[in-house]
Structure 1
Amino acid sequence: MSHDGQQKSSSLTLVLMVASAAIGGTLQYGYNLAITNAPTTFIQTFINETFAARWAVQLEDFQVTLVWTVIVSIFSLGGLGGAIIAGPMSIRFGRKKCLLLSNIFLLSGALLALASRAAGSVEMIVLSRVLIGINAGIGMNVQPMYFGESAPKHLRGAVSLSSAVFTAFGVVLGQVVGLREILGSESRWQYLLASNAIPGLIQLLTLPWFPESPRYLLIDRGDKEACVDALRRLRGREVPSSELAEILQERAETAGARPSRPWELFRDRSVRWQLISVMVVSSAMQLCGNDSIYFYASYVFKEAGISNEQIQYVTIGTGTCEFTACIMCNLLIERKGRRFMLMGGFVLMTVWALVFTVALSFEHLISWMPYLSMACVFTYILSFGMGPPGVTGVLPTEIFTQTARPAAYMIAGSMMWLNLFIVGMIFPFLVSEMRQYCFVPFGTVCLLSALYVGLVLPETKGKSLSAITDEFHKLNFRHEEGPCGGRSRYRAGEASASTAL
């Protein structure tokens, strides 16, 4: 085979590997965010009927809303559990096998959801959401690691950002499948909740054919032959000597060092601001309220004055906006940089939250205000997709070493899922109680996040890990003075971070 033919074949292998991993990975997160919105009314009716049949109790509206909120938000607690176990699983089993094993939780949850209606059990739906959340939590953490460690350096940002693209695609897919004409009707909602098994089955059938992360094979397992074979499949028959040398150098620098544990990162001064940055950005991802819009789109658009008949079609536009924005972010991030895209997204979201508040305040006085409210939701989501989801996913890969990366992703994922649970629980009550001011808290979070990124987070585009570490060093040891302070004392702690990603 010619050199060009080898390159095309290896590029196709990388593309197909990304698609296979993402279909059963981050796509599941977006898909399961979206599918709960369409059957809201039907499942609430099922909750009422179940309580009436089992305990002869007629629930009040706020009680039904509370049970429904638990069903929706418990997905986040499952995701938190998945994020916690993702690090140890990815170290023990490898990135690829970890993704495959997570489908055990997915298929078990889908089976429970499918049987819940016939069994007349709300508890089965709750347990199903927990198990599916565990699957999504593992995928959201392990998939970016797998991509970042498998892609060539010049494609690492774009490949890692494909995680956000597939998340947005999952949202759109879930919204389309959730239409009343497909699976979002009263008679088919249990099939809708179980339909997430299909992407999982696709991954189980396809991902075993692709290689494990080359960096994991050599650095974590010490298997140079398997690493070379994986690189050959992903890069072509001729393995780039510079890339192999880089991985060997990182292995030498981390020789004898076991993978860091989360609590060790909290005690390690040399990564203090890296860890704070990851925690702030991951928390802001959910505290900005964007993903909760997918959980409770009916509440948001009803408040914006959209008729019940039109809401299901309008919600598809929200997912389409984020999907389009994520693709644009993928194209622009290597030109504009991570910091610019992240800060720009939060600034724009602050502006649209303010405009949305004004529009809701005057919707009963001006006839066209409901349309402005709806436009604000779309632009808010569009602004979100332009930066936060893509950059947040790739950030731990770029600022942490191989040994610290699983723990960093575990912490980042835990913050994301915990905050998603908090916002998911309070969101419907926030909308009903604060009404036109419901987006003021989210706008405040966006403003504070933009300020943090602008003042603290360094640009990582095109920089080696050692260069990024040097910039964080100025924050981590800024109070050290004198020629013997700071740098010389902690140089040994930074040695393992001196190789480029």
Structure 2
Amino acid sequence: MEQQNTIKKEGRLTLVLFLATLIAAFGSSFQYGYNVAAVNSPSEFMEAFYNKTYYERTNSYMSEFVLTLLWSVSVSMFPFGGFIGSLMVGPLVNKLGRKGTLLFNNIFSIVPAILMGCSKVARSFEMIIVSRLLVGICAGLSSNVVPMYLGELAPKNLRGALGVVPQLFITIGILVAQLFGLRSLLANEEGWPILLGVTGVPAALQLLLLPFFPESPRYLLIQKKDEAAAKDDQIYLRAGVNANHVQYVTAGTGAVNVLMTICAVFVVELLGRRFLILLGFSVCFAACGVLTAALALQDTISWMPYVSIACVIIYVVGHALGPSPIPAVLITEIFLQSSRPAAFMVGGSVHWLSNFTVGLIFPFIQAGLGAYSFILFGVICLLTTIYTFLVVPETKGKTFMEINQIFTKMNKVSEVHPEKEELRDFPPRALGL
């Protein structure tokens, strides 16, 4: 009976764990999504500000090419900063810890928020460009560190659900930016600096509240060899009561994205990681195929534009179910404690470089392929589906030891010694509780 109660207790979503998840995701992941979409709606007012500022300095306006280039640089600085942030993940999480890195990361949000908010008064579009780089670094760090932090805090039966929460807050951030970006609110000549500066609010709240919550016990025990601190944080986590890449076309698709990510939070422990990735990429592949046909036929069949809109929404649904939230969960689960930071660095770097590359070359792809532009993305979705089906195992409900054993058998290598502490799930008894 005592053992059953212990197992039951280990799987609880305590109030402390719930609040730590909420603060980490809102303070970091929300900003990622918000800054993806924040510059879309006020772009014409910001470009006019660029031109007006240049005129005040030189007494002449920018050429159309220079203005377009300058705006493209402003937008692309965000994914480039994300790439830099991903490269910083390993050194920072090993030196400062998971929570410490999230607190440090707020510098890359609060400072650019102030700069962007003051850019119009200061008559400096350079402040916006530098700020976009800095908030990109913030997003690159948070997109990797938040899933790692929550994955190490959560018991095995909640790792999937809590691991999807950061992606949920990214989609909420996109939706909020789209709503604030309405012309009647902040996407106007006077309001756009406020729209850009709002990103500092979640960071300030996280900076105030996160210090009161625990560091990853696995990090403290395994990497810092601080058994006493790990015990204290485990007690803290288990105390309390149950707490019952793309820029989207419209706020409507943003709302769909949020709803489907919420669904993923609840079904990831029911259906499993592998199933959701297979389902998500299959849906995205089908959506790309039908969208290509719809775009090719839109001039000959009157109702094809409606099919195109439906395909975009279906793609968002598929992406929100699997490809968007699940990879971070898998990285947390399939890599050892010592190699997890490096794995997130590699995954994050690929993500942000792909983001940067697509943003840079897609206009040329669209100009060259026209209606067939999405065939490339459909092929990528298909290949990923095949790879997942053949290679990626299910990790739902498994301990780090069990997951490691699956991969040692798949790769036909010697099994890691069972006592290796990196593979252990540290129950209260093992920590002396």
- With normalisation by structure 2, the TM-score equals 0.89
Partner residue, 1:246: none
Supply the distance in 1 between the matched residues of 2:291 and 2:60 (Cα, whole angstroms).
Answer: 39
Pair 1:48-2:2 in alignment: no
- Supply the distance in 1 between the matched residues of 2:117 and 2:92 (Cα, whole angstroms): 28
Question: Is residue 99 of structure 1 aligned with residue 102 of structure 2?
Answer: yes
Aligned to 2:193: 190
- What does 1:54-203 align with in structure 2 at a 5 Å threshold? 54-55=57-58, 58-203=61-206
Runs of 4+ residues deviating >6 angstroms: 6-10
Q: Kindly indicate whether the alpha-carbon contact (under 8 Å) linking 2:97 and 2:215 is maintained by their aligned counterparts in 1.
A: yes
**CA distance 1:144–1:422, shift in 2 (3 Å):** same
Q: How big is the shift at 1:106?
A: 0.9
Contact 1:147 1:156 in 2 (8 A): yes
Amino acid in structure 2 at the alignment position of 1:216: Y
Write out aligned runs for 1:394-433 (5 A): 394-433=329-368
The alpha carbon displacement at 1:468 in A equals 2.6
Q: What is the distance in 2 between the residues matched to 1:444 and 1:191?
A: 41
1:20/1:498 CA distance change after superposition, 3 Å: closer
Query: What's 1:270 paired with?
Result: none
Deviation at 1:42, TM superposition (A): 1.6
C-alpha displacement of 1:169: 1.1
Q: Which residue of 1 aligns with 2:429?
A: none
Q: Secondary structure at the match of 1:154?
A: coil
Provide the rounded CA distance (Å) in 2 between the counterparts of 1:368 and 1:109. Answer: 45
Q: Deviation of residue 316 (structure 1)?
A: 0.6
Question: Cα distance 1:390–1:8, how it changes in 2: closer, same or farther (>3 A)?
Answer: closer
Paired letter, 2:374: F
**Conserved 8 A contact 1:469-1:497:** no
* TM-fit CA distance, 1:203: 0.9
Structure 1: gaps of 5 or more residues = 239-290, 298-314, 478-485
Change (3 A) 1:436 1:81: same
SS at match of 1:153: coil
1:122-141 CA distances to partner (integer Å, 9 max, x unpaired)?
22111000111111111111
What is the CA-CA distance between 1:120 and the residue it aligns to?
2.7
- In the alignment, the residues of structure 2 paired with residue 429 and residue 120 of structure 1 have an alpha-carbon distance, to the nearest angstrom, of 33
Counterpart residue number, 1:20: 23
Q: Tell me the equivalent position of 1:365.
A: 300
d(CA) in 1 for partners of 2:11, 2:151: 20
Matching residue's letter, 2:163: S
Match of 2:34 among 9, 31, 48: 31
CA distance in 2, matches of 1:55, 1:453: 56
Q: CA contact under 8 A between 2:110 and 2:203: conserved in structure 1?
A: yes
More displaced stretch, 165-174 vs 224-233: 224-233
In 1, Cα distance between equivalents of 2:10 and 2:285? 44
Aligned sequence identity (%)? 42
Q: Contact (CA 8 Å) 1:9, 1:236: kept in 2 or not?
A: no
Question: Structure 2: 5+ residue runs without aligned partners?
Answer: 427-433
Amino acid at match of 1:201: A
Among candidates 363, 366, 378, match of residue 313 of structure 2: 378
Q: 1:495 to 1:211 in 2, by over 3 A?
A: closer
Cα distance, 1:76 vs. partner?
Answer: 0.9
Residue in structure 2 matched with residue 293 of structure 1 by the alignment: 247
Partner of 2:285: 350
Which residue is 1:390 aligned to?
A: 325
* 8 Å contact kept, 1:69–1:424: no
The reply on whether 1:445 has 2:380 as its aligned counterpart is yes
Instruction: Please give the per-residue CA displacement for 1:357-390, whole angstroms capped at 9, x wherever unaligned.
Output: 2222222333332222222111111110010122
Q: Specify the SS of the correspondent of 1:292.
A: coil
Matched position secondary structure for 1:388: coil
Q: Does 1:456 align with 2:391?
A: yes
Partners in 2 of 1:354 and 1:413 — Cα distance? 28
C-alpha deviation, 1:292, in angstroms: 2.6
Q: 1:206 aligns with which of 206, 209, 222?
A: 209
Instruction: Specify whether residues 13 and 476 from structure 1 end up closer, same or farther in structure 2 by C-alpha distance, changes over 3 A only.
Output: same
Q: Which amino acid aligns with 2:246?
A: S
In the alignment, structure 1 residue 335 sits paired with structure 2 residue 270: yes
